[in-house]
């Protein structure tokens, strides 16, 4: 038996295993850098992903469909990443994974908009004498 060949194979296998682990750890770092750990509380408003299908008989195309529908309310946390949803009437809408949910920011943006944006009065475009902005050559 040739023992040298067996030793070379073990060395090669160790190198391949080491390189595989090295690249796996690098990929994990890239993935973990972009990973979001989202947790919702009972009562939070969320949007759920819709999974429509194209229907030619109804002239409906998935490309133009809205990707999310809602808002829905979190009624219960069923697991680490699974939540039960209800609509605004309290009708159960099923169990949804956190990857298919998106937080509802509509009320926050309405509050921010009301406080930070002044009302448009139109006075910015009047002349100093109170006339219109257009000038005449008379």
Better-predicted residue by pLDDT, 34 or 117: 34
For 49, counting Cβ atoms within 10 Å of its Cβ (0-12 exposed, 13-18 middle, 19+ buried), the class is: middle
What does the pLDDT look like over 89-111, one tens digit per residue? 989 999 999 989 999 888 765 55
Higher pLDDT, 131 or 7: 7
pLDDT band with cut points at 50, 70 and 90 for residue 138: very low
For the domain spanning 45-115, the CATH number is 2.30.30.140
Summarised one tens digit per residue, pLDDT across range 44-68 is: 999 999 888 888 888 888 888 888 9
Per residue in 34-45, is it b (16+ CB within 10 Å) or e — as a string?
eeeeeebeeeeb
pLDDT at 23 (0 to 100): 92
Q: Where are the domains of the chain?
A: 45-115
């Amino acid at each position: 038996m040739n023992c040298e060949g067996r030793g070379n194979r073990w060395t090669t296998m160790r190198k391949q295993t080491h390189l595989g682990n090295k690249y796996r750890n690098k990929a994990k770092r890239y993935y973990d850098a972009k990973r979001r750990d989202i947790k919702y509380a009972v009562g939070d408003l969320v949007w759920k992903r819709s999974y429509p299908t194209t229907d030619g008989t109804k002239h409906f195309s998935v490309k133009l469909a809205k990707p999310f529908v809602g808002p829905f309310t979190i009624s219960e946390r069923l697991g680490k990443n699974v939540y039960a949803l209800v609509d605004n009437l309290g009708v159960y809408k099923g169990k949804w994974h956190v990857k298919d949910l998106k937080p509802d920011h509509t009320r926050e943006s309405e509050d921010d908009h009301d406080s930070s944006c002044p009302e448009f009065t139109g006075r910015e475009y009047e002349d100093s004498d109170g006339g219109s902005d257009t000038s005449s050559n008379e």
